[in-house]
Amino acid sequence: MTATKSTNITWHEPLVTQADRDLRNGYKGVVLWFTGLPSSGKSTLAHQTEKKLFDRGCNAYVLDGDNIRHRLNRDLSFTPDDRAENIRRIGEVANLFSDAGIIVITAFISPYRADRAQARALNEPGRFFEVYCKCSLQTCEARDPKGLYRQARKGEITAFTGISAPYEEPENPELVVETDKQSLDECAAKILRFLEARDVIPACS
Amino acid sequence: MTATKSTNITWHEPLVTQADRDLRNGYKGVVLWFTGLPSSGKSTLAHQTEKKLFDRGCNAYVLDGDNIRHRLNRDLSFTPDDRAENIRRIGEVANLFSDAGIIVITAFISPYRADRAQARALNEPGRFFEVYCKCSLQTCEARDPKGLYRQARKGEITAFTGISAPYEEPENPELVVETDKQSLDECAAKILRFLEARDVIPACS
C-alpha cells in the first residue's frame, strides 16, 4: 500500500453499516472476482450469474470491460503499470459495491497473482471470492469471438495474455468453473450453490 | 470526452437493466451530487440522508472523502489536474452505482462547474441531481472542525477552496439546502421531499 496523497481528510463512521445492509437484504455484500484467459467466458458467465442472482431477489452487479475499461479506466492502456492500476481501481470499486450490500461480480483477465491478492486484501475475510474461469488456451483460441488471438498470433496486438503476456493461474481460488467442460447454465448454477454453501445467499427453499 | 486508450473491447447489453432494477426496488437509481465549500456540511448531510433513505427501505450509499480520497483516488493530489481527475472518477463510479439501482450520494467540494457538468453528462436526464449545500464562507470558517481554514489562512495549506482556490457556485442546481439556516434534519427532510416530488422514491403513505 502506498500512502495516500490526500491529506486534510478524516475518517467518519457511517450511520448505515455493511452489516445493517446485509441484515435487511437477507444476503451479503461480497466480491466475486472472476479471473481467466481472454475468451474464457468471464463476462458472459458474469452476466448470467448476475441475472440468476437478480431472479433470486439479490442485487448483483457486473463490473467488466464494458463499463470500466470504456469509462472509469479509459485513461489506462495495457502496459504493466496501467494493468496494475486498472486492477487496483477495480478492486477499490468492487469493495465499495460490497460495502453497499451488493454482490459485485468483476470480470477481468486480471492475470497477475499479486494484483488479485491486492484486490482481495481490501476486503474482510468471507467477503471476497476468487472464481477461476478455467478454460484451455486451445479452446479460448478456437472461440476467439473478437479475433483477438488471431491478431495476437500475427503480432498485431502485443502483450496479449496467454500468447505474448503471462497468465498466472490462481493457486487457491475459492471456486473453479471449467467453462470448456460445463455449460454456461451449469457454471452459473455452480456459483450459486457455492454462494449458498458460504451463507452469502439463502438456500433455495 | 477523450478517447479511450482501451482497444480490443466490445460492448455487451446487460441481461439486467437499470429499469429492471428500478421496477423491482420501487425507487430509482440516481446520483445526488452534493457540492459546496469545505465545512459546508456535505458529508454529514450525505450520511444523514443515506440513513433516512435506508430507513425508508431504499439502498442509498455515500461516496465521500472517507472512502474515495483515502482509497480509489489516493494517487491523486489537489493540483487542478488531479482535482479534475478526482471528480471524473467519482462521476464514473456514481454512474455505476445508479446503474446498479442505488441512490448514490456524492459529497465532494467539486468546485468547478465544468467538472460537475461532466459528471452530470454521464447520466440520463432525471438520473442526476445537483444539490448545492449552501453555507456562507463566514459560517464554514467559523465551524472549521478540522482547523483547515485556519491553516489555509496561515498559508500552511495552499489552493484551499474558498480561501486560495475558487469555488464556482452552481448556476442551476436541482436543489439548494442552506446548511447555515436549516438544521441537519430539516435539510435531509427537504432532500427526501425533493426525491418524492421527482418520483425517485415513493411518497410517504
pLDDT by residue for chain B (205 residues), tens digit each? 334 454 444 556 689 999 999 999 999 999 999 999 999 999 999 999 999 999 999 999 999 988 898 999 999 988 889 999 999 999 999 999 999 999 999 999 999 999 999 999 999 999 999 999 999 999 999 999 989 999 999 999 999 999 999 999 999 999 999 999 999 999 999 999 999 999 999 998 6
Put simply, the answer to whether A67 touches B157 (Cβ < 8 Å) is: no
pLDDT score for A12: 65
Residue A1 lies in a domain: no
Residue B7 lies in a domain: no
Helix (H, G, I), strand (E, B) or coil at B64: strand
Query: Distance between CA atoms of A136 and A133, rounded to whole angstroms?
Result: 10
Give strand ranges (E) for A128-204: 128-134, 175-178
pLDDT band at A65 (very low <50, low <70, confident <90, very high): confident
**Cβ-based contacts under 8 A for chains A and B:** 145
Q: In the predicted model, is pLDDT for residue A17 greater than 90?
A: yes
How far CA B53 is from CA of A25, B27, B37, B58, B106, in Å, comes to 14, 10, 24, 5, 14
Query: Distance between CA atoms of A1 and A11, rounded to whole angstroms?
Result: 18
Query: In terms of Cα–Cα distance, which of A152, A110, A114, A34 is closest to B7?
Result: A152
Segments in A56-177 forming alpha helices (H):
80-99, 113-121, 137-143, 148-153
By C-alpha distance, the chain B residue nearest A14 is B47
Q: What percent of chain A has pLDDT over 90?
A: 85
Query: Distance between CA atoms of A64 and A66, rounded to whole angstroms?
Result: 5
Residue B10 lies in a domain: no
Whether chain A has a CB inside 8 Å of the CB on B81: the answer is no
How far CA A10 is from CA of B68, B70, B147, in Å, comes to 12, 9, 12
Residue B107 lies in a domain: yes
Contacts of A90 in chain B (CB under 8 A): none
As given in the structure block, the three cell numbers for residue B131 are: 444539490
Put simply, the answer to whether A6 touches B77 (Cβ < 8 Å) is: yes
Q: Number of folded domains in chain B? A: 1
Mean pLDDT of A109-128: 96
pLDDT score for A78: 85
Query: In terms of Cα–Cα distance, which of A178, A132, A179 is closest to A36?
Result: A132
Whether chain B has a CB inside 8 Å of the CB on A52: the answer is no
By C-alpha distance, the chain A residue nearest B67 is A96
Greatest alpha-carbon span in chain A:
55
Whether chain B has a CB inside 8 Å of the CB on A89: the answer is yes
Residue A204 lies in a domain: no
Q: In the predicted model, is pLDDT for residue A183 greater than 60?
A: yes
As given in the structure block, the three cell numbers for residue A76 are: 489506462
Which tens digit of pLDDT belongs to each residue from A73-118? 999 988 889 999 999 999 999 999 999 999 999 999 999 999 999 9
Residue A108 lies in a domain: yes
Query: Distance between CA atoms of B190 and B50, rounded to whole angstroms?
Result: 13
Q: What angle, rounded to 10 degrees, do the helices at B80-99 and A80-99 form?
A: 50
Residue to test with chain B: of A49, A72, A77, A86, most B Cβ within 10 A: A72
By C-alpha distance, the chain B residue nearest A76 is B5
Q: In the predicted model, is pLDDT for residue A136 greater than 90?
A: yes
Q: What percent of chain A has pLDDT over 70?
A: 93
Residue B205 lies in a domain: no
Q: Strand order of the sheet with strand A128-134?
A: A60-64, A103-107, A30-35, A128-134, A175-178
CATH assignment of the domain containing B93: 3.40.50.300
Contacts of B69 in chain A (CB under 8 A): 4, 6, 9
Give the pTM: 0.93
Exactly one of A39, A43, A98, A110 is catalytic; name it. Answer: A110
As given in the structure block, the three cell numbers for residue A162 are: 496467454
Residue B178 lies in a domain: yes
Domain interval for residue B166: 18-197
Residue B110 is among the residues annotated as catalytic for this protein: yes
pLDDT score for A80: 85
Determine the distance in angstroms separating the CA of A47 from the nearest CA of chain B, rounded to an integer: 6
Query: Distance between CA atoms of B149 and B19, rounded to whole angstroms?
Result: 44
Contact between B149 and B39 (Cβ < 8 Å): yes
Mean pLDDT of A172-177: 98
The three-state DSSP-derived secondary structure of B120-177 is HHCCCCCCEEEEEEECCHHHHHHHCCCCHHHHHHCCCCCCCECCCECCCCCCCCCEEE
Q: Strand order of the sheet with strand B103-107?
A: B60-64, B103-107, B30-35, B128-134, B175-178
- The minimal CB distance from A16 to the residues B14, B54, B99 is found for B54
